């Protein structure tokens, strides 16, 4: 079932990444420096949000995918659950970094390869949680440990994202 979930995650994330990439063409007339600056500012704001310094809502459907999706048909339901989770549209996204990356895809106007890489990275990141949880051998304890470690992990991931985006722009790697 984990493989089916991962396929669904990949399909959903790739769909979202492709939609963002297609819309990115509408923003390419804006100067590249402005687009890059907007993403870096968004990353810093997201870092402040994840660190608890700032408080603002993210544009999301902050609820879980209904369990009845899995109860109707396990295989098809798992694929649908993964797809919906992969899109990031019909579920709760606990960290801010995926929003920053989505904005980066939207504003970069870069190659489709970048959008695919972001989509695959998001999907594999979401697939990593159940893999690690199952591999732990103690899923109840893993959940407790995750709750303790999630806040600093979100801050660290968002900080790395902000630094990486800044470096990509300032070194000229982000070509738009």
176 located within any domain: no
12 located within any domain: yes
pLDDT tens-digit readout, 91-141? 777 889 999 999 989 988 778 888 999 999 999 998 998 898 888 888 888
Flag whether pLDDT at 172 surpasses 70.
Answer: no
pLDDT tens-digit readout, 64-94? 767 777 777 888 988 988 998 899 887 777 8
Flag whether pLDDT at 158 surpasses 70.
Answer: yes
175 located within any domain: no
SS (HEC) of the chain:
CHHHHHHHHHHHHHHHHHHHHHHHHHHCCCCHHHHHHHHHHHHHHHHHHHCCCCCCCCCCCCCCCCCHHHHHCHHHHHHHHHHHHHHCCCCCCCCCHHHHHHHHHHHHCCCHHHHHHHHHHHHHHHHHHHHHHHHCCCHHHHHHHHHHHHHHHHHHHHHHHHHHHHHHHHCCCCCC
Choose between 174 and 170: higher pLDDT. 170
Choose between 81 and 46: higher pLDDT. 46
For residue 176, name the pLDDT band (cuts at 50, 70, 90).
very low
21 located within any domain: yes
Domain count, the chain: 1
Residue 31 lies in domain:
2-170
């Amino acid at each position: 079932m984990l493989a089916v979930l991962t396929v669904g995650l990949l399909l959903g994330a790739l769909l979202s990444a492709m939609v963002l990439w297609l819309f990115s063409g509408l923003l390419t007339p804006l100067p590249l420096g402005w687009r890059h600056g907007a993403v870096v500012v968004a990353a810093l704001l997201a870092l402040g949000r994840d660190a608890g310094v700032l408080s603002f809502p993210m544009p999301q459907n902050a609820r879980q995918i209904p369990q009845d999706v899995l109860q109707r048909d396990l295989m098809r339901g798992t694929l649908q659950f993964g797809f919906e989770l992969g899109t990031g549209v019909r579920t709760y996204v606990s960290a801010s970094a995926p929003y920053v990356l989505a904005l980066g895809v939207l504003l970069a106007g870069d190659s489709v390869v970048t959008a695919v890489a972001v989509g695959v990275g998001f999907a594999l990141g979401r697939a990593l949680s159940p893999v690690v949880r199952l591999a732990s051998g103690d899923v109840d304890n893993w959940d407790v440990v995750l709750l303790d470690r999630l806040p600093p992990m979100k801050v660290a991931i968002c900080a790395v994202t902000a630094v990486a985006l800044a470096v990509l722009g300032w070194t000229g790697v982000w070509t738009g």
